[in-house]
Amino acid sequence: MKQRIAAFLVLLNAVFVDATPPAATDSQFVISVNSAAWKKFGFRYPVTYVFQLPGNVDNVQVQRRDGATEPWKPLEKKTASDFFNGVECVRFDPATKKAYVSVGFGAGNTMMLRFADARSVKFDSVAKYYDGRKAAYTLSNDNWGCNPWAHPGAPWKGTTDDESDSYQASVHVCRSLHLPVTMAINSRSAGGDDCWRRMQEELDRGDCSWEPAVHGQTHPKNAAGYLINGYRQEILGCRDDILRRLRNIPYGPYVYEHILTFGYCDETILRTDAREFLFLRGFNWLDNPSSNDYVPWDKKHSLYGVGGLNTKGYDSMLEKRDPRGRYYAADVADANEAFDRVHRAGGVFYALWHPDRFRNSILYDTRPGVDGVQGSTLMQHLAHVANRKDVWYVANGWLYSYRYVAENVRVVSN
C-alpha cells in the first residue's frame, strides 16, 4: 500500500509541478482552483494576480503553462498607457515594483507561472478588479428574442435603422465604444432561427464584445408563469438552448448568469439556479445608488445574488421623454454624475436597458445633442463612460467568473 501511495504522489507531482527545479534566477508559482467548479465554469476570463518584485523589472519576462509537459508561453506586456480589457497579459509598475499578471485557466484547474530572470518574487494578492483598475462598469440588455416589435432576426440595415434587430443594433453600439455587454436571451420567443443566426454572426466576430445569458425560454412574470412550462425548463432549458444553438461563446461554452424576468424571484428559482450559475441578477426600474459593489456569495444556493440592480435606472430616465431616448442635456448630466460618483468611490456601476422599448433611430442617434430635437441621451452618456484606462469594462457573467476565482484561488510558490 505504501508503494502505491508513493507512486501516486510521484504521478501527481509530475502533472502539476515541473520535475526540474526552477533555475536559480527564476521564480515559479502554481495557481489552482476547485476542480468541480472549473469543470462547470472553465474560468477562462483572466484574473489579475499581483506580485512583488525584488528589483528592476526591465528584463523580467512572465510565462505561463497548464502542465509540466507543455512549453512555457510568454505573456504580452502592457503598460498603463494601453487600453485593454479581458486579455491575458502582464503589466509592470516600476514605481511600486509590482507585476499585474492577468491569466485565465485553460486545459485544467491548475496553471503555472514563471518569472524568468527574477529571483525572490513574492505573491501579494488578487486584484479586486482586472489589471488593478480603479472601478468597474458592467452592462447588460434584457429580452433578446422576446418581442416581435424589436425585429429579432431581421436582416441587418444598420444601427439606426428601425427595422434592424434592436439587440443586434445594441451590440454594434456597445462594440463601437468597447463596452462588453451581456444579452439576456429568451430562447423560445420571437425570431426563431433567424434570431439565432444574428446572434451567431455577432459571436463569430471573435472580439469578446458580448455574453449570452439566460432570461428564460419565454418571459414568465410570476410563479403562475413559471408553472406553465416548469421552472427547470424555463431556466435550465434556456441555458441548454443557448449552448446547443450558439458557438464561439467568449471564454468558452459556459453560461454564467441567470437574469430574472420582471425581477421576479422565489425560493423555487433559487433552488433551480443553485450550483447552476455564478450570478443571479435582479432588476427594478429604479435608481439603486447603493448597488455599487460585488454581490455577496449565497452559501445556501452556491451563487452570487440576488443582486446587481441597475445603479442608475437607464430605462426610466430615457422613457420619460417623447420620443423615448431623445437627447436632453439635463438627463445626460444626471446619468454622468451617477457614474462619476461610483468611479470616484472605486465601485462597480451596474448598467442596463431594454432595447425593445426604444426606436433604433432615436436611441442610437449619434448627432450632436439638441434638447428634444436630435441626438441621444444614452449615446452621449455612454461616450462619457467609455474608453477610460482606469475602468474595467466587463460583461456581468465575466465579472463574477473573476470574483469567484479571486475569492477561491490558491497561489503557491514552487
CA–CA distance, 412 with 74 (Å, rounded to integer) = 20
pLDDT (0 to 100) of residue 4 = 47
Note whether 79 and 132 are within 8 A (CB).
Answer: no
Residue type, 63: Q
Residue type, 271: R
Going through 279-409 in order, the beta strands assigned E by DSSP cover 279-281, 297-298, 303-307, 348-353, 391-395
- What the block records as the C-alpha cell of 322 is 417623447
Note whether 133 and 390 are within 8 A (CB).
Answer: yes
pLDDT (0 to 100) of residue 117 = 83
Note whether 88 and 76 are within 8 A (CB).
Answer: yes
Note whether 363 and 324 are within 8 A (CB).
Answer: yes
Compute how many other C-beta atoms are within 10 angstroms of the C-beta atom of residue 207.
12
Rounded to whole angstroms, the maximal C-alpha distance in the chain is: 82
Burial class of residue 100, CB neighbours in 10 A (0-12, 13-18, 19+): buried
pLDDT (0 to 100) of residue 414 = 86
- Name beta bridge partners: 47: 103
Find out whether the peptide bond into 87 is cis, omega within 30 degrees of 0. Answer: no
3-class DSSP string for 106-118: CCCCEEEEEEECC
- What the block records as the C-alpha cell of 378 is 444614452
pLDDT (0 to 100) of residue 26 = 81
Find out whether the peptide bond into 220 is cis, omega within 30 degrees of 0. Answer: no
How far from 172 is each of 164, 176, 214, 305, CA to CA, in Å? Answer: 11, 6, 21, 29
Spatial neighbors of 245 by CB under 8 A, at least 6 apart, are 187, 196, 199, 200
pLDDT (0 to 100) of residue 1 = 43
The fold of 135-405 is: TIM Barrel (3.20.20)
Radius of gyration for the alpha carbons in the chain, expressed in angstroms and rounded: 23
Compute how many other C-beta atoms are within 10 angstroms of the C-beta atom of residue 171.
24
pLDDT (0 to 100) of residue 18 = 45
CA–CA distance, 190 with 203 (Å, rounded to integer) = 20
Note whether 181 and 167 are within 8 A (CB).
Answer: no
pTM, 2 dp: 0.93
Residue type, 355: P
* SS3 label, residue 216: strand
CA–CA distance, 377 with 367 (Å, rounded to integer) = 11
Which residue ranges make up each domain of the chain?
2-132, 135-405
Q: How far is Cα of residue 156 from the mean position of the Cα atoms in its chain?
A: 26
pLDDT (0 to 100) of residue 328 = 98
Residue type, 356: D
How far from 277 is each of 267, 366, 404, CA to CA, in Å? Answer: 15, 36, 11
Note whether 185 and 213 are within 8 A (CB).
Answer: yes
Q: Give per-10-residue mean pLDDT for the chain (414 aa).
A: 43 44 74 98 98 85 94 97 98 95 98 92 98 98 98 98 98 98 96 97 98 98 98 98 98 98 98 98 97 98 98 98 98 98 98 98 98 98 98 98 98 94
pLDDT (0 to 100) of residue 57 = 74
CA–CA distance, 46 with 89 (Å, rounded to integer) = 9
Compute how many other C-beta atoms are within 10 angstroms of the C-beta atom of residue 63.
17
Measuring CA to CA, which residue among 351, 370, 401 is closest to residue 174? 351
- Name beta bridge partners: 185: 144, 214
CA–CA distance, 335 with 329 (Å, rounded to integer) = 10
- What the block records as the C-alpha cell of 253 is 461554452
Nearest 5°: phi and psi at 361?
-65, -25
